[in-house]
Amino acid sequence: MRIALTGGIGSGKSAVMDIIRSHGYNCVSSDAINDALLQNPDYIEQIARVFPTALVDKKIDKRVLAKIVFNNNKERKKLNNIAHPIIRNLALEMSDYHGLNFVEVPLLFECGFEVDYDKVVVVTADIETRIERVKARDNRPVTEIKSIINSQIKCYANKKIDYTIENNSSLEDLTEKVEIMLFNLEKANINFR
């Protein structure tokens, strides 16, 4: 069974994936795939051809690229047309195993990739918690973080979500919620086969 894990910026997707991974499940990160691709000269060249200013010292500067595409749908679409098919195919290949396979897909609904998955898990947290997490992690301005959060919220409306994990409390509380979800998914996987 292939399970997508998604959630807005600062919701704690990585923390949830760490807990799932610690239980021995196959876990795939779309962001990790992208990071690996950004070491590949052919991939770098494809992006640099379209976004030459993002090429700094023969590498793609992710912050420069983010500034180019964040508020520009036309530019974002160009990047997505390069990156998403490659990342999508690699994620599906890497999650094609017997049992439960978890794939962290930050832009699951925005890209329509939910069709690739048997179940969808969304990680949520209140907005203030998310802002504080992103500020601490990325040192971004609050206005930019709020803008990202507001753009993401719209993507979850009227979508089929199988599990929602609220991540507003302690790591122990989060671990308990994830373990309950895993138990339920294991039961569902028995019936799925």
End-to-end CA distance of the chain: 8
Look at 71 and 188; give whichever has higher pLDDT: 188
Please check the confidence at residue 30 and state whether its pLDDT lies above 70.
yes
Look at 158 and 38; give whichever has higher pLDDT: 38
Confidence of residue 154 (pLDDT cuts 50, 70, 90): low
Sheet containing 2-7: give its strands across.
26-29, 101-104, 2-7, 119-124, 163-166
Mean pLDDT of 113-123: 96
CA atoms within 13 A on the CB side of 106: 19
Mean pLDDT of 142-147: 86
Chain mean pLDDT for the chain? 91
pLDDT value at residue 192: 64
Please check the confidence at residue 177 and state whether its pLDDT lies above 80.
yes
Give 163's contacts (C-beta < 8 A, 6+ positions apart): 119, 120, 121, 122, 181, 184, 185
- Picking from 143, 82, 134, 92, the residue whose alpha carbon sits closest to that of residue 113 is 92
Contact indicator for 173, 130 with CB cutoff of 8 Å: no
- Picking from 176, 178, 189, 192, the residue whose alpha carbon sits closest to that of residue 5 is 178
pLDDT value at residue 81: 93
Contact indicator for 106, 87 with CB cutoff of 8 Å: no
CA atoms within 13 A on the CB side of 3: 28
Please check the confidence at residue 117 and state whether its pLDDT lies above 90.
yes
Distance CA 101, CA 185 (A): 11
Confidence of residue 153 (pLDDT cuts 50, 70, 90): low
Distance CA 43, CA 87 (A): 11
pTM: 0.88
Burial class (CB in 10 A: 0-12, 13-18, 19+), 142: exposed
Look at 30 and 144; give whichever has higher pLDDT: 30
* DSSP label of 90: H
Condensed to tens digits (0 to 9), the pLDDT of residues 41-100 reads 999 999 999 999 999 999 999 989 988 987 788 998 999 999 999 999 999 999 988 899
3 pairs with which residues across the strands? 102, 119
Mean pLDDT of 127-153: 86
Please check the confidence at residue 106 and state whether its pLDDT lies above 90.
no
Extract the tokens encoding 26: 């196959």
